[in-house]
Structure 1
Amino acid sequence: MRIVKNAEERKNEILDAADELFGLKGFDGTSTNDILEKVGIARGTLYHHFKSKEDIMDALIERYSARLLDAAQHAAADRSIPVVERMIRVVMALNLSGGSSKEIMEHIHKPQNALMHQKIQKVIIHGVPPILTDIIREGIEQGMFHTPYPYECMEMIVIYANTIFDDDMVALTDEELLSRMHALICNVERLLGAESGSLRDTMKMFGMNPEAQG
């Protein structure tokens, strides 16, 4: 008996299969036939939902973008966690993980996919500062931070971090990366009106030694 699925369910089934295959075989190493066999559908059904393999990848990128913001919001929501730790958890939630994340990052960094790269950056730049701003306002209430511009501070920081720590935008050696991290923490403290050195331990959450100098 032929199983009939609604459009959204079938679309997600195709995306799940492509996500797994791209992760295992790479984007270029995966054919539409591989996806068809994985899902068990006819070619016409696939093309009803997606025009091409590139269209499937674009849809996966959109799905990952939504997950980025969901993960960031979830990380920010638990008020039982200290303010600074929640800030870092939000930032760390922006790292793509699982599935075909490596393939997705390689795909969007190709010159012909600059628009998709820009799309993810736009999601981060517009979606993350409001999440962080709510946390900063808590820090202001607790006397940790002193700034009349919580949103603007977070916007500046997100735009800087999203550019400097993007390998496709700026290539950094390990020493340069460490130096940028020290500088970022130092300037975040100044922007937020935090006590000097109060945010240095945040580097430990990124696996870095706060005592090391760039």
Structure 2
Amino acid sequence: MRVSRASEERRQEILDAAMQVFYLKGYEKATIRDIALDIGVAQGLIYRYFKSKEALFAAALDNYAERLAGEMGQEIRNDETALRDKILNTPSFYHIEDDDSYYYKMLNGPDSKGIYQQLSLKVAERLVPIVRDAIAGDLDKGRLTCVEDPETVAAFCVYGQLGVLFREDLSGNQKVDRIRKFVSNQIY
């Protein structure tokens, strides 16, 4: 018999198992029953946390986006570093994703272009306020003088990268190098 776990810990366990099952069986073929069997719980327990397979997948995507944005945001939040240096040193998706995780495998597979784009938008949504605050902080410290509207500049810097990130003719490092060079040349 399984020992009862804290709610957040159980929720995370379900999300992690779901991504593994989605990757191994394919999203369309995977069922809530498969996920329940994988972690040794009743299907009803999963339905307590998620009303459907679609809701479970959306929550897993949100969870992963939150993790990626959090890791990327650590450098951006560093108040001691000028924004230009933050741009050049902040890790990208390519530097923080763990190629061995089922989240990475599921969201970066050959048939997951649309899912990867959804993930990118979710990460961008979380990064805009972090970048906005970094821009405002640099304005307050006099390290940045050319920005009148931090919100718009942050949105442009974050969402504007997606066109490069979605290109299939460039490697991950080429994408990162191009983005960093462009954005750092716009902020002074």
Q: Does 1:134 align with 2:130?
A: no
TM-score by length of 2: 0.67
Structure 2 counterpart of 1:103, which letter? M
Q: Does 1:150 align with 2:150?
A: yes
Check whether the contact 1:129–1:151 (CA below 8 A) recurs between aligned residues: yes
Check whether the contact 2:128–2:155 (CA below 8 A) recurs between aligned residues: yes
Counterparts of 2:176 and 2:77 in 1: how far apart (Å)? Answer: 28
Higher relative contact order (CA 8 A, sep 6+): 2
Match of 1:173 among 157, 169, 172: 169
Counterparts of 1:21 and 1:179 in 2: how far apart (Å)? Answer: 31
Q: Which structure has the bigger radius of gyration? A: 1
Q: Supply the RMSD in Å over aligned alpha carbons.
A: 4.0
Counterparts of 1:93 and 1:179 in 2: how far apart (Å)? Answer: 11
Structure 2 counterpart of 1:11, which letter? R
Give 1:210's aligned residue. Answer: none
Structure 2 counterpart of 1:27, which letter? G
Closer, same or farther in 2 for the Cα pair 1:138/1:34, shift >3 Å? Answer: same
- Deviation larger for 60-69 or 27-36: 27-36
Give 2:68's aligned residue. Answer: 68
Deviation at 1:92, TM superposition (A): 1.6
Deviation at 1:46, TM superposition (A): 2.6
Closer, same or farther in 2 for the Cα pair 1:61/1:94, shift >3 Å? Answer: farther
Give 1:54's aligned residue. Answer: 54
- SS of structure 1 residue aligned to 2:41: coil
Give 1:185's aligned residue. Answer: 181
Structure 1 counterpart of 2:50, which letter? F
Cα deviation 1:26-70 (Å, max 9, x = unaligned): 634755444223311122323333344433221101111222332
TM-score by length of 1: 0.61
Give the paired residue count: 181
- Deviation larger for 82-91 or 55-64: 82-91
Deviation at 1:74, TM superposition (A): 1.9
Match of 1:104 among 103, 107, 125: 107
